[in-house]
Amino acid sequence: MKNVVALLIVAPGGLRRTEAEVLSAGRRLADGLGGTLTAVILGATEASWDGDAAAYGADRVVHVEHAGLAEYQAEMMVEAARRVCAALQAEVCLAPSSTYGLEMAPVLAQKLGAAVVTDVIGALGEAGQVKITKPVYGGKANSELIARKAPLVLVMRARSVAVLERKAGAAAETSKLEVQLDAGLAKSRIVERKQEASTGVRLEDARIIISGGRGMGGAEGFKVLDELAGMLGGTVGASRAACDQGWVPASWQIGQTGKKVAPELYLAVGISGASQHLVGISGAKHIVAVNKDEKAPIFETSEAGVVEDYRTMIPALIEAVKKHRAAQGK
Amino acid sequence: MHLVVCLKQIMDPELPPGDFRVDTQKKEAVRGSANLVISVFDENALEVALQLRDAAGGGKITALCVGPESAVDALRKAISMRADEAIRVREEEFPALDAYGTARLLAAALRKLEPADLVFCGREAGDWHGAIVGGLLAGELERPFVSLVAGAKRAGDAFVLRRQTDEGWETVECAGPAVISVTNDDANQPRIPKVKDNMMAFRRQIPAWGAAELGVQASEMNGPNAALEFASLGIPKSERQCQVIGGESVEEKAARLAQKLADLHVL
Ligand SMILES: Cc1cc2nc3c(=O)[nH]c(=O)nc-3n(C[C@H](O)[C@H](O)[C@H](O)COP(=O)(O)OP(=O)(O)OC[C@H]3O[C@@H](n4cnc5c(N)ncnc54)[C@H](O)[C@@H]3O)c2cc1C
Ligand SMILES: Nc1ncnc2c1ncn2[C@@H]1O[C@H](COP(=O)(O)O)[C@@H](O)[C@H]1O
């Protein structure tokens, strides 16, 4: 296995962290296998993506051009990806960890007759094999898999890949691949898109995250978290339990099946610390917990914690932060 | 309208980490006293199907599981939530199934059933988090696949699906028949079965189909994932030490916590 392909699905604007992660993981794999990395850009291309793909390590960039790829449409994208993987004789194909990448991966693999693994946190190329690490049982265990045969489709877990340093000015051989796609392939259509409101910056990019769980007891409880986040310049997140209750939008969910975040500070409030939640915050630099139960497992992963009811603790913390800042003359 | 919900029976994923053990020889979790449950998102999937059927004022829901004898309990639970039919595919006849094998068995069962308008899976199984069986199944059946659906409505022959994305929501119109994977949402919290429905389900005989009934060869079910060597399963170590911030009063604790945040350079 030498021929590594990173699939990039075009979105408005420049290359985002998701794409940088696919390219970085692909570069490392190609190096380990002594092979090459081809970035395949699916969709109406923006010129800046070429340079970015090269800057993150692609040896070659291939644009797949077709009017039907202007926007994400599952069947068209999968068929385009299948054609290009066949044309390039892709041996390892990395799909992005986005909603669309994860949707495409198994369908594409099925069409390519490829083994497929998602939510991978380690992919090591060595002696023609790929050693895969995938957490299982909600992060309570890690499994190691060895792929000896191509083709292989992989999706890395978001935020589990350290992004390579951008090499400005790096160049890659760029080409276009025309594909014929029958419009009749499309069986579904996106008729509406809605962006969910968030407080502050996107969770994935936030430096400070204040998260609430079932212990908040209701939507009302999130108001104090909001106030604290506002003071600290942070963003509010949540556990699945809080999202399932409808207290906050589903897009605030952090964890195995939510966002993967890597803030400087993660303050967990009224969250018990189930492994499936912790999976989402393993990239956090400092984890601090407020929970009224001293036995809550969240304390085992936190570097500091307060055993207290959040209803008294968070307002008191807000006051303490004000005082602290006043004392510092801020 | 025929809706088929694929559900897997798993070890309760809410088992606390402290009670979690693995058998490194067998490369699986030790069940111990943990319950067997329907995989979480599969219950959400069943709930979406139930709401769709009830809104349409009719239709049939079949729950389908590839599992061992014990999986009858998961299927009975689905019946108690008011699925109409349930079928178990005898996993014991297909040792060491890979995800392709599971998808192919589900596809074989679907071909034997009354044609399905919509097939439901969970977004990922709550034990191994494969997140692939739904897509593989769609591929095997040559049907469209829409992932991360939170709710579904019927519009003529098509389905209007509300799906979660990285940024928020999308409405996807999809021609039936299709395969979808379902994610959790406040609108699809699984209903609690009524006591009388539990009793009714308890008495239900659940048919089981094997290689003979499905007209397949056990040796031919597996796909490319079977070629992955499963080298090991282990529990990762965590080495964080928690500093408990105490104090005589809430105010004192708060002041200390604020100082701690300042020390961490986040204030
Ligand atoms: C396949 C799978 C995927 C999952 N994915 C995710 C995921 O992505 N994200 C996620 O979060 N979960 C996920 N879960 C669910 C996870 O297992 C837990 O059920 C969930 O994280 C629990 O949320 P919680 O900690 O808010 O609630 P609980 O576990 O109920 O904890 C509530 C906590 O609040 C404390 N508390 C109560 N009142 C107060 C108060 N007044 N002040 C302070 N503390 C208080 C309690 O002591 C308790 O510790 C997943 C589960 C499965 C099976
Ligand atoms: N043994 C099984 N029987 C029935 N459905 C299954 C089985 N395994 C997986 N599925 C379905 O496929 C979904 C995704 O599973 P996985 O790809 O294994 O994470 C699950 O949520 C189920 O809906």
Residue B149 lies in a domain: yes
The DSSP H or E segment spanning A212 is strand A208-212
Angle at A139 between CA A137 and CA A145, to 5 degrees: 75
Rg (CA), chain A: 22
Q: How far is B204 from chain A (nearest CA, A)?
A: 31
Nearest to B127 by CA among A234, A305, A53, A256: A256
- Residues composing chain B: 267
Nearest to B181 by CA among B136, B145, B152, B153: B145
Ligand 2 pocket test, candidate residues B43, B121, B146, most atoms within 8 A of CB? B121
Q: Do B167 and A196 touch (CB under 8 A)?
A: yes
Residue B76 lies in a domain: yes
Q: pLDDT, tens digit, for every residue of B79-119? A: 999 999 999 999 999 999 999 999 999 999 999 999 999 99
User: What pLDDT, on the 0 to 100 scale, is given for residue A10?
Assistant: 85
Domains identified in chain A and CATH numbers: 3-185 (3.40.50.620), 203-327 (3.40.50.1220)
Is the pTM here over 0.80, yes or no? yes
Contacts of A215 (CB under 8 A, 6+ apart): A269, A270, A271, A272, A291, A292, A310
Q: What is the CATH number of the domain that holds B97?
A: 3.40.50.620
Ligand 2 pocket test, candidate residues B10, B38, B39, most atoms within 8 A of CB? B39
User: What pLDDT, on the 0 to 100 scale, is given for residue A264?
Assistant: 97
User: What are the DSSP E strand ranges found in chain B?
Assistant: 2-6, 9-11, 22-23, 28-29, 36-38, 60-67, 85-90, 118-122, 145-155, 158-164, 168-175, 178-182, 208-209, 229-234, 243-244
Pocket of ligand 1 from Cβ distances under 6 Å? A 138, 213-215, 239-242, 253-258, 270-272, 274, 276-277, 280, 290-293, 296, 309-311; B 13-14, 40, 126
**If pLDDT is split at 50, 70 and 90, which confidence band does B183 have?**
very high
Low-confidence ranges of chain A (pLDDT < 50): none
Q: B137 CB less than 6 Å from ligand 2?
A: no
Both B260 and B218 in one domain: the answer is no
Q: B99 CB less than 6 Å from ligand 2?
A: yes
Both B244 and B158 in one domain: the answer is no
Integer Cα distance of A258 and B44 in angstroms: 16
Both B261 and B183 in one domain: the answer is no
Q: How far does the centroid of ligand 1 lie from the alpha carbon of residue B176, in Å?
A: 36
Both B221 and B258 in one domain: the answer is no
Residue B31 lies in a domain: yes
Q: Which residue of B has its CA nearest to A246?
A: B186
Per-residue pLDDT for B11 more than 70?
Answer: yes
The DSSP H or E segment spanning B250 is helix B250-263
B3-to-A256, A294, B40, B176 alpha-carbon distances in Å:
28, 46, 19, 11
Give the ligand 1 atom nearest the CA of A257.
8
Residue B232 lies in a domain: no
Both B180 and B158 in one domain: the answer is yes
Both B71 and B147 in one domain: the answer is yes
Both B214 and B244 in one domain: the answer is no
Angle at A163 between CA A162 and CA A165, to 5 degrees: 125
**In what side-by-side order are the strands of the sheet with B229-234?**
A122-126, A129-136, A141-147, B229-234
Per-residue pLDDT for B29 more than 80?
Answer: yes
Both B262 and B207 in one domain: the answer is no
Integer Cα distance of A84 and A98 in angstroms: 20
How many C-alpha atoms does B65 have within 13 Å on its Cβ side?
Answer: 32
Residue B197 lies in a domain: yes
Q: Do B233 and A143 touch (CB under 8 A)?
A: yes
Q: Do B20 and A257 touch (CB under 8 A)?
A: no
Does A264 touch chain B if contact means CB atoms closer than 8 Å? yes
User: What pLDDT, on the 0 to 100 scale, is given for residue B238?
Assistant: 74
Both B199 and B265 in one domain: the answer is no
Report ipTM for this prediction.
Answer: 0.97
Q: pLDDT, tens digit, for every residue of B141-150? A: 999 999 999 9
Both B220 and B98 in one domain: the answer is yes
**Tally of structural domains, chain B:** 2
User: What pLDDT, on the 0 to 100 scale, is given for residue A13?
Assistant: 79
Q: Do B168 and A249 touch (CB under 8 A)?
A: yes
Residue B230 lies in a domain: no
Nearest to B225 by CA among A138, A312, A109, A223: A109
Nearest CB partner across the interface for A110, out of B17, B140, B236 = B140
Residue B231 lies in a domain: no
Check: CB of residue B250 under 8 Å from CB of residue B258: no
Both B66 and B175 in one domain: the answer is yes
Identify the DSSP state of A89.
T
Both B88 and B201 in one domain: the answer is yes
Contacts of A67 (CB under 8 A, 6+ apart): none
| Domain boundaries, position B253 | 237-267
Contacts of A61 (CB under 8 A, 6+ apart): A38, A39, A41, A49, A50, A53, A54, A172, A173, A174, A175
Residue B38 lies in a domain: yes
Rg (CA), chain B: 22
Per-residue pLDDT for B240 more than 80?
Answer: no
Higher pLDDT, A198 or B128: B128
Q: Which residue of B has its CA nearest to A304?
A: B243
Nearest to A43 by CA among A14, A80, A6, A90: A80
Question: Which of A140, A160, A309 is most worth mutating to test chain B (most B CB atoms within 10 A of its CB)?
Answer: A140
Angle at A257 between CA B4 and CA A144, to 5 degrees: 95
